[in-house]
Structure 1
Amino acid sequence: MPQLQPQPSLKQLKYFVAVAHTLNFRRASYQLHISQPTLTNQIIKLEEGLGLKLFERTRNGTMLSPDGRELLKHAEQLLQTMTEFQSVARELAQGPKTTFKLGIPPTLGPYLLPFVLPQLHQLYDKLKFYVRESAPSELHTGLYKGDYDLIISPLAGLPNDFVVEPLFTEPLKLVLSSEHPMSKDLLIEPKHLKGQRILTLEDKHHFHHQVLDICNELGAELQRDYEGTSLDTLRQMVVMGMGAAFLPGLYVHSEMHVPESLHVCEIKNKPILRQHALAWRNTSPSRVFFRELADRFRRIIKARLSHVVEVSTP
């Protein structure tokens, strides 16, 4: 019966990867904070246990052998998996005690996060968010690159290779100047939007394309020459009678509670909605906690904003 070879230890794999990256035993031992003889001895034991030569040692230096090149990617994957395992175990044992980079669109962040983050802080007193605002397409790219740990984004358009947890659905409200002929109606007949001038944001925002689709469907005229740079500028252009605008329900709830020269209404029998989701990379070591976080988001939003939005079912 053949004798079983000893399994490589994680320490040996770590040493192997360090030498493979530096191709220099002296530099690798310095990076690992061990002596060079100790490193050499562990690599020899690893090679003996595998029955393979991982490195070629020549007068000109150290090179990976063909077998070493093939095994390197597998060793790196094993070490990465163990790092993620330890991170998840630490979070489960101690709770989150770190800072996450959160990305969110500027048409949502200021009108959602003040209702959510204070209560999250009460639940997780060591948890912190570094929040940055950007257009959804830029958020998706940033999440891929690691600029963000997680993002809140419109559900439509999110790449399939992200882990996605729907959070809530938000209505879009039609906002008119108080001097507009339809400003006395709470429900506007869809046919009455035909030919109406509609203002919106720049086309880098997902919000822009949603409003464009509405205008094309109802025959309204999107004012491309007067695109707003923010929801506030859009509102001010409506006040000045430059056109009507569709504004997110959370913005209306948060920023338009003081009476002004505006009228908020909806299109009859045609709710216009946008759905938001929390998303992260499927390789994130914090993915277990992120699912818990999505559930916390939904509970807080339901408790504080259910009169404005509809919370998604997990």
Structure 2
Amino acid sequence: MPTLRQLEYLVVIADTGSFALAARVANVSQPTLSQQIRALEERLGAKLLERSASGAILTPVGRSIVATARRMLSDASDIVALAAGSSHSLTGTVKLGTTPTLGPYLLSAIIVELHRIAPELRLHVREGIPDEQVLELSRGNIDVMLGPMPMAGDDLTIEPLFREPLYLVAALDHPIGAAEDMMRGDLTGSPLLSLDPRHHLARQAAEVAERYGMTIAPDYYGTSLDSLHQMAASGLGLALLPSLYLRSEVGGAAGLKILSVQGWRAHRSIAIAWRRQSPMSKAFRLIADHVQAHARRLLAP
């Protein structure tokens, strides 16, 4: 039978497309990795990879085996968690994925509170692009994910937690927004700063721009909410920022004014997700409860 280690090596090669990169990620020598893959192919009696100078490509049977191997490796990880008693007590290390447009402005106080009530629970926080993190969650590379909806996955439990208002902001000396209650037409043609298009917030910015006749500012994609804040405060354009960021100590609204637009109701929905078969659902539900309660306190009028 194939070993879990061999299957793990095959999955890493599938993810990296390279024996050299896979060996680095798996922390083994390239000859060892190659030897294990050859042994796996001999054991299965099938060619799993097409090797070339430019990298490694999965064969059709290799793709099918990798899909099954991901599930097996995820199940094996869950078995280890069960053996450690994680299904009955809040212990062990949890890999929590989140987006940089949320985690830095919400999680710090929550992690402190969780550590107080579950001192043996460790949270390893990883920031990334939401769509990519959903794949990482399904593959077992992270255990739980906190981020904006939509999320989707047949193998996932997805629980909405709260709705976060989104505000349109401008530099303090920006001529727009002098009136206490702006009309929609006042925004027509205004440049709206945005993030990398892979972020959900960038898609929402594009929807807002279309709805209000604004234009997405070209060549000025921000890399974080802080960069949007700084560019907007410098007068480069308007920006769409979440309420939790504007209220946080690490974010804030320095140098910005929040524009009051008639009929403005932009928001995003935040959810938590984990693999449906994970034995750590008790820990994930505890995290969900604390995130929800803390966010609602912060967002209260």
Q: Same fold (TM over 0.5)?
A: yes
1:200 aligns with 2:194: yes
Match of 1:280 among 255, 274, 277: 274
1:50 alignment counterpart? none
> RMSD across aligned C-alpha pairs, in angstroms?
3.0
2:222 matched to 1:228?
Answer: yes
The match for 2:299 is 306
Q: CA deviation at 1:197?
A: 0.9
Q: Which of 90, 102, 106 is matched with 2:85 structurally?
A: 90
1:261 corresponds to 2:259: no
Q: Could you tell me whether the CA contact under 8 Å between 1:171 and 1:248 is conserved in 2?
A: yes
Pair 1:255–1:192, CA change in 2 (3 A)? farther
Secondary structure at the counterpart of residue 163 of structure 1:
strand
Per-residue deviation, 1:234:
1.2
Identify the residue that residue 149 of structure 2 maps to in structure 1. Answer: 155
2:104 corresponds to 1:110: yes
> Counterpart of 2:161 in structure 1: which amino acid?
L
Q: 1:272: Cα distance to partner? A: 0.3
Supply the distance in 2 between the matched residues of 1:268 and 1:119 (Cα, whole angstroms).
39
Deviation at 1:260, TM superposition (A): 3.9
Report if aligned partners of 2:87, 2:280 keep a CA contact under 8 Å in 1.
Answer: no
Report deviation, 1:270: 2.4
Structure 1 residue aligned with 2:124: 130
- Matched letter for residue 249 of structure 1: S
Q: CA deviation at 1:297?
A: 2.4
SS at match of 1:226: coil
1:115 Cα deviation (Å)? 2.5
Residue 189 of structure 2 corresponds to residue 179 of structure 1: no
Cα 1:204–1:301 shift into 2, 3 Å: same
Q: CA deviation at 1:255?
A: 4.6
Write the distance in 2 (CA, Å) between the matches of 1:217 and 1:87.
Answer: 49
Corresponding residue number in structure 1 for 2:235: 241
Tell me the matched-pair count. Answer: 234
Unaligned runs of 5+ in 1: 1-19, 23-61, 64-72, 309-314
* Residue number in structure 1 paired with 2:182: 188
Q: State the shift of 1:85 in Å.
A: 11
Matched-pair contact (CA < 8 Å) for 1:85–1:285 = no
Identity %: 34
Deviation at 1:96, TM superposition (A): 1.2
Q: Which of the numbers 93, 99, 102 marks the counterpart of 1:99?
A: 93
1:297 aligns with 2:288: no
CA–CA separation in structure 2 for the residues paired with 1:113 and 1:256: 12
Indicate whether 1:217 and 2:183 are aligned.
Answer: no
SS at match of 1:229: coil
Q: Deviations over 1:9-41 (max 9, x none)?
A: xxxxxxxxxxx557xxxxxxxxxxxxxxxxxxx
> Aligned partners of 1:258 and 1:133: how far apart in 2?
20
Q: Evaluate the alpha carbon distance shift between residue 255 and residue 300 of structure 1 in structure 2; reply closer, same or farther with a 3 A threshold.
A: closer
Structure 1: distance between partners of 2:122 and 2:180: 41
* Distance in 2, Cα, partners of 1:259 & 1:294: 27
Work out which of the residue numbers 136, 144, 148 in structure 1 matches 2:138: 144
TM-score w.r.t. the length of structure 2 is 0.69
Q: Within 5 Å, which residues of 2 pair with 1:7-86?
A: 20-21=1-2
Is 1:88–1:288's contact at 8 Å kept on the other side of the alignment? no
Cα distance change of structure 1 residues 186 and 148 upon mapping to structure 2, 3 Å threshold: farther
Q: How far did 1:205 drift?
A: 0.9
Please state whether the residue corresponding to 1:225 is helix, strand or coil: coil
AA matched with 2:82: S
Out of 155, 159, 170, the position equivalent to 1:165 is: 159
**What letter matches 2:183 in structure 1?**
E
What is the CA-CA distance between 1:160 and the residue it aligns to?
4.5
Letter in 2 for 1:205: H
Q: Give ranges in structure 2 of 5+ residues lacking alignment.
A: 4-42, 45-67
If the length of structure 1 is used for normalisation, what is the TM-score? Answer: 0.66
The letter of the residue matching 1:242 is L
Q: Is the 8 A contact 2:81 2:280 kept in 1?
A: no
